[in-house]
Homo-oligomer: A and B are copies of this chain.
Amino acid sequence: MSERTGGRLSRRAVITAAAATAGVAATGGALAATQRDGAPPRPSGTVPFHGAHQAGIATPQQQYAFFAAFDLESTDPVKGERLTPAQAAANFQRLMGWWTIAAERITQGHAPGPRPGGRPDVPPDSGIADGLEPSRLTITFGLGPGLFARIGQERQRPRRLEPLPAFRTDRLEAAWSGGELLVQICGDDLQTISRAFRTLRSRAPGVARLRWTQQGFLGRFGDATPRNLFGHKDGTANPRPGDAKFDRAVWSDGADEPAWFSGGTYLVFRKIRMDLPKWDTSSTRTQDETIGRRRDNGAPLSGGHEFSAPDLGKAAPHGGLLVPADSHLALVRNVPMLRRSYNYDYGFQANSQPVADHHDTPGEDHDHGQDMPKHSGGGHAAYDAGTLFCAYLRDPAEFVRVQHKLAESDRLNAFIRHTGSAVFAMPPGARPGKHVAAGLLPS
């Protein structure tokens, strides 16, 4: 939820520029570019899989996203023996090969191809997307910090890939954090996304195990900047794909990174839970001064319109500053990153219990309209909704720098809690016939 100022172009111009430059200028790209222009997305949209960069980052943002983190298996599933780094590397390479083939096929509207080890009498695909268009499906892969030692490739680890430090306000849960491999699936049809994940997951048994999944959505805002669950426009000040500024902020040029990583980027992923009842019962003034912008039109409190640069020194008529120094906007200016976040609303997250064990008496056990349970861990008392914050950037240290500042003084801290966290290196795009991250291992 950081902000970046200076963009005066409309979101429409931004999206069009993105499509023209981000390797999606073919049929699918042109289509995708027009899809944000007020009209609902066309289900037939296809985003090319191959290119200098992976799709799903600079390509136009779809309505829905599914994120899944996996860890490589550490032991041989048959013999039970610990895998050597060379064995783990072979597993990794096999999995990336399977995943790449499946991803390039289903994003282009084809069947995923045979399941490795699949019996001939078993259908190779779940069939749940039979008759559905790809709906701008993209599948994007990431590599976590722990992967490289595991596969004996510490020397090839992208230099800026480190576990994030602890931040003062973090309330992280292991169940939503970390991971050696990331699969990011975006599209405009939840069923094609569900099918895509199921296809990839079916390649994992014996090689990798699921660690966590997250699912997000955007409203159908068309040409306008999407609103987050605090009702504020989120993403107003993103850099514009196609600008040199965008490229400098997002893509690694390999100058001081391993050569295989050129054209890659990093993803900082944060599950940020929102206390919606607390927010909804706060005054308009509190809400807007917390963000530093007007909710209704997205303009900075210093005046102008959504795309106006904020004037952080402008005095309020009755003293103080129009944009408070500890507002979110004032603290997060000029961070070189692309935000491509999604809202999430998981509803009421009961801890499932068999009927017989459940004490069905009214009491502490139920929802009282506050979304932040007193005990971390949440569960039965909690309604879980918020933001899946996704920042793509050349240097995660930029996120770390700002997040320390935010943890120290952001007014938003009264309304949010970071409950999940992960960082991944996002390899460059695959070339036809090669798998994603093929450059990492000798072939």
Q: Which residues of A contact B (CB under 8 A)?
A: 40-43, 63-64, 66, 68, 71, 73-75, 119, 121-123, 126-133, 135, 171-177, 188-192, 194, 197-198, 201-202, 204-205, 209-215, 217-221, 224, 227-232, 276-277, 280-285, 287, 295-296, 343, 345-355, 357-358, 360, 362, 366-369, 376-380, 383, 385, 419
Whether the pair B211, A366 counts as a contact (CB closer than 8 A) is yes
Q: Which of A41, A73, A173, A380 has the most CB of B within 10 A?
A: A173
Whether the pair B119, A283 counts as a contact (CB closer than 8 A) is yes
CB contact between A231 and one of B126, B171, B376 (< 8 Å): that residue? B126
Chain B residues near A119 (CB, 8 Å)?
281, 283
Whether the pair A190, B217 counts as a contact (CB closer than 8 A) is yes
Q: How far is the CA of A350 from the CA of B229 in the complex (A)?
A: 23
Chain B residues near A281 (CB, 8 Å)?
119, 122
CB contact between A209 and one of B135, B227, B362 (< 8 Å): that residue? B362
Whether the pair B130, A74 counts as a contact (CB closer than 8 A) is no
Q: A71-B362, A119-B283 are in contact. Are A355 and B174 (CB under 8 A)?
A: yes
Whether the pair A366, B210 counts as a contact (CB closer than 8 A) is yes
CB contact between A192 and one of B126, B219, B295 (< 8 Å): that residue? B219
Q: List 25 A-B contacts (CB under 8 A).
A: A63-B190, A64-B190, A66-B347, A71-B362, A73-B362, A119-B283, A121-B284, A123-B280, A126-B229, A127-B227, A127-B295, A128-B230, A130-B231, A130-B296, A132-B219, A132-B221, A133-B220, A173-B358, A174-B354, A174-B360, A191-B217, A191-B220, A191-B227, A202-B280, A205-B368
> A229's closest neighbor in chain B, by CB?
B128
CB contact between A351 and one of B218, B230, B277, B379 (< 8 Å): that residue? B379
CB contact between A75 and one of B75, B130, B362 (< 8 Å): that residue? B362
Given contacts A128-B228, A173-B354, 9 further A-B contacts (CB under 8 A): A63-B190, A122-B283, A174-B353, A176-B350, A191-B217, A194-B385, A202-B277, A212-B350, A352-B419
Q: Which of A188, A190, A350, A362 has the most CB of B within 10 A?
A: A190
Chain B residues near A379 (CB, 8 Å)?
351-352
Q: A123-B295, A131-B227, A132-B219 are in contact. Are A198 and B280 (CB under 8 A)?
A: yes
Whether the pair B348, A377 counts as a contact (CB closer than 8 A) is no
- How many subunits of this chain does the assembly comprise? 2
Tell me the smallest distance from the CB of A62 to a CB of chain B, in Å.
13
Q: A40-B42, A295-B127, A362-B74 are in contact. Are A353 and B228 (CB under 8 A)?
A: no
> A210's closest neighbor in chain B, by CB?
B367
Chain B residues near A283 (CB, 8 Å)?
119, 121-122
Whether the pair A347, B213 counts as a contact (CB closer than 8 A) is yes
Q: How far is the CA of A352 from the CA of B220 in the complex (A)?
A: 31
Chain B residues near A227 (CB, 8 Å)?
127-131, 191
Q: How far is the CA of A347 from the CA of B317 in the complex (A)?
A: 51
CB contact between A128 and one of B131, B191, B194, B231 (< 8 Å): that residue? B231
Q: How far is the CA of A63 from the CA of B188 in the complex (A)?
A: 12
Chain B residues near A173 (CB, 8 Å)?
350, 352-355, 358
CB contact between A131 and one of B221, B282, B285 (< 8 Å): that residue? B221
Whether the pair A68, B347 counts as a contact (CB closer than 8 A) is yes
Tell me the smallest distance from the CB of A151 to a CB of chain B, in Å.
16
Whether the pair A219, B40 counts as a contact (CB closer than 8 A) is no
Tell me the smallest distance from the CB of A82 to a CB of chain B, in Å.
10
> A129's closest neighbor in chain B, by CB?
B219
Q: A43-B40, A347-B215, A350-B176 are in contact. Are A383 and B210 (CB under 8 A)?
A: yes
Whether the pair A135, B352 counts as a contact (CB closer than 8 A) is no
Q: How far is the CA of A325 from the CA of B189 in the complex (A)?
A: 36
Chain B residues near A42 (CB, 8 Å)?
40
Tell me the smallest distance from the CB of A190 to a CB of chain B, in Å.
4
Q: A210-B348, A355-B173 are in contact. Are A191 and B215 (CB under 8 A)?
A: no
